[in-house]
Structure 1
């Protein structure tokens, strides 16, 4: 009898081991990157590459792992965070981040303007897996003095709604101290089970959406709040279903144009590597407090484009239960299976971003755990055409997934209008900062010495019809960062050794030696005329990078040509036109160097009525003899002179737009 019992026990153990081995081989061979330690220190890697990142796959001739589109650079904004998730920008520019593993929300501050967080403040702590949070109304609240004369005072506060696993609460958030007070519980939520994250999204001043994931992989829920989005009245806590059949919609956002609620959705597990798709859903609005039934997005019965899950439900309905005589809503966009889409954000129609990306959607693929081959671990761009139709998907930031595991796992995406975005990474414990600049590729491309520069737009101001931008160029050296700030004009020399920029003070032009980390002592002062300073044109470097030329325009009928000489740290100023030639409102266009660097050609013209261009002339300045000669273009020419250039023989030419 004992032998039989022993044999049964051994049989059970063997079968169990065989089943575990089969299950692991079938579903979990790719789990390593998700559960293992990071395959490298992403902070150290970025620091080794001057904190700036590479620009594109075409330009990435090094071992830098992360791939970005042209014109973008990446750095670490904050580090040593234990699993950062949801992000929002506060009223003072601080970045608020939820950290569920530590039960708190923190405020990250950059106090010295170097684009790196240097202060972490606990906003609220001792919470139960806080995940989603959002701001409500902002007011000024005042507290009376105590009888002893202490306390009291007024505070600018904003309502801060926080979703823990089991409850949604509202706090008053002091925007100056970054602290909360006066907690009020709004509504209780189901807790326990498989999915514990809760996310929040306002759809109106008096209606807050709360997403609640399922308790299981695939099942019929006992609590109907599970696998749904509920709508909660902040003042009363009363709730209604807004949408059902959503297995785990961890993040929501609103479309900037239509106002529709969009949500990412994670499909079920254990159907193989290719099924079911993860999803992007548009959550159809419903009339609350009416007979309008909340839309059902299919789970657990259906997935993707209303595909019946016969693996889970093997009953014979006689019809397709996902497509006939039902109100189930299919996915808007099917994503690859198991990529685990989390945070997402629309790219604004803003000059801070490349125009071809306007209106597109950035989505963080957290990465798979139950696929035999790891997938995800990147940020993608979903491309939409001018009519809003989905066109296709492109990698935006990739490279976290390596042969040895994963360097990180992107979670949330926060996009700002000026070409800056933040990505949270709960595996590496960091917040990344990405920036875009039209000049970044040009400035940073193929440098074979010194640090890689990062150019970003600090501020954009509209003055009449003119857009004025303030640029900041930063270089990271061993002894710290060098920041160069300029209004309107900033240009790198052809050999990429020198920077010419319009100084932010004293109305002058300054120069910086990139390789030797040195400012030039001499500045080019601009002439003041009639109480105002001139507008500065584009800096144009000579072919040998020894000189830089630019023009200035005065409101008194005169332009000046400046030529700065790098080797001698001196400059020349030449008045290139006069009242005798082209009247009282003469202007000069951007100078053009001859191929041998001896001559400078520039186009001049007068402003006629209604600001038309008349009285053209082409001037040529000989830098060796300091002689300026001009050729007046025949006014009978039919068309505008739009460009001056040089031919192969070194002769100036001009082009007519007829």
Structure 2
């Protein structure tokens, strides 16, 4: 199958109707028993029963929203013990149907939803029964290939939005392969990072406010090339290489001719080929041990076209200033041999410092907490 035909088949599959999966307690526990975490951490299934959980956002009242790329819906549920739960809010979904609404963000009482081509705002985000999405921006590209989005607000209120390449590898022009920011008052955009193939995860450093982002490397260059990237944007307009240079040190066999590696920004870390690094977040809480504070958690969705599967885990990047001191696996076990039991898509820190992981492969949201208890201590 050619690359173009394969891409069309994958997009068609993504738009097919899906039926949500409800698991038994025993089925959930069987997966939890597979997952390995550092000593002192515990994991639980926070929610299941919706389909294809992707990016998450939470309101002040503890109402959690989550986008579904394949199902075309935005779901919500009250967090256990939250004000939303005490107010009687039950899990449900917004009435509107979207096209791949992976990306959502919350700010100042409003929920923002990006599907392919459009940005919507929900003014009554704290009261989902009254929620009615309003179209506020419709000038995003309409291409389905890499057309799903990821959203986050910078401290200055600008909304950051990725514009993926409409292909595996191509030079599609200035409208694509970048991350932009949108001023919600004037509805004008600014190019932030260029030469970005498909970023489905980014966050802002808590100390500097600078943008860090993951980027998925191209396919069809073999099992081990090129690597996904963890990048740092220092100045708006910096170019990170795509489609000419990959992983900071490799010219593309088709589009690299006439280009110099030194002209493009190298990644801060190579994350591995085909691991599909998606959602990421800086850890700014206090619940986890000191080593995690100020570092980055990254969800690896996992490979789809490699002879031996890789990814399907959550990794942690320890930073030393603007450098990655080391990378380590934080949560794994969704991949058992070549059998897949989950695909982490996004990570988000809750106000109490616990970490949520959305799984769009087996339709669960997990919560990871640090208790400090290990081994026999857990039963005391």
TM bucket normalised to smaller: 0.7 to 0.9
State the match for 2:254 in structure 1. 312
**Rg: which structure is higher?**
1
1:343 deviation in Å?
Answer: 0.9
State the match for 2:301 in structure 1. 366
Which of 345, 350, 370 is 1:436 aligned to? Answer: 370
Please give the secondary structure, in 2, of the residue aligned with 1:367: coil
1:443 deviation in Å?
Answer: 2.2
Please give the secondary structure, in 2, of the residue aligned with 1:282: strand
Which of 65, 68, 93 is 1:96 aligned to? Answer: 65
Gaps of 5+ in 1: 1-18, 25-40, 54-63, 138-157, 287-293, 445-452, 454-491, 493-658
1:416 deviation in Å?
Answer: 3.0
**1:381–1:393 contact (8 Å) kept in structure 2:** yes
| Pairs within 5 Å for 1:131-146 | 131-137=102-108
Which of 92, 96, 102 is 1:125 aligned to? Answer: 96
State the match for 1:280 in structure 2. 230
- Using the alignment, how far apart are the partners of 1:66 and 1:42 within structure 2? 18
| Pairs within 5 Å for 1:381-392 | 381-385=316-320, 387=321, 389-392=323-326
| Pairs within 5 Å for 1:235-634 | 235-286=185-236, 294-309=237-252, 311-313=253-255, 315=257, 317=258, 321-323=260-262, 326=263, 328-348=264-284, 350=286, 352-385=287-320, 387=321, 389-403=323-337, 405-416=339-350, 418-441=352-375, 443-444=377-378, 453=379, 492=380
State the match for 1:503 in structure 2. none
- Using the alignment, how far apart are the partners of 2:291 and 2:375 within structure 1? 16
- Using the alignment, how far apart are the partners of 1:397 and 1:159 within structure 2? 32
Higher relative contact order (CA 8 A, sep 6+): 2
1:240 deviation in Å?
Answer: 2.6
Structure showing the higher strand proportion among its residues: 1
CA displacement, residues 422-470 of structure 1 (integer Å, 9 cap, x when unaligned): 11000101101111112355522xxxxxxxx5xxxxxxxxxxxxxxxxx
**1:420–1:435 contact (8 Å) kept in structure 2:** yes
| Pairs within 5 Å for 1:189-228 | 189-222=140-173, 224-228=174-178
RMSD of aligned alpha carbons: 2.7
1:181 deviation in Å?
Answer: 3.2
Please give the secondary structure, in 2, of the residue aligned with 1:101: coil
**1:162–1:170 contact (8 Å) kept in structure 2:** yes
CA displacement, residues 533-564 of structure 1 (integer Å, 9 cap, x when unaligned): xxxxxxxxxxxxxxxxxxxxxxxxxxxxxxxx
Gaps of 5+ in 2: 7-22
Cα distance change of structure 1 residues 217 and 43 upon mapping to structure 2, 3 Å threshold: farther
CA displacement, residues 349-368 of structure 1 (integer Å, 9 cap, x when unaligned): 51x11122222211111000
Which of 16, 25, 49 is 1:80 aligned to? Answer: 49
Cα distance change of structure 1 residues 297 and 361 upon mapping to structure 2, 3 Å threshold: same
**1:265–1:278 contact (8 Å) kept in structure 2:** yes
- Using the alignment, how far apart are the partners of 2:38 and 2:165 within structure 1? 36
State the match for 1:475 in structure 2. none
TM-score with structure 2 length normalisation?
0.86
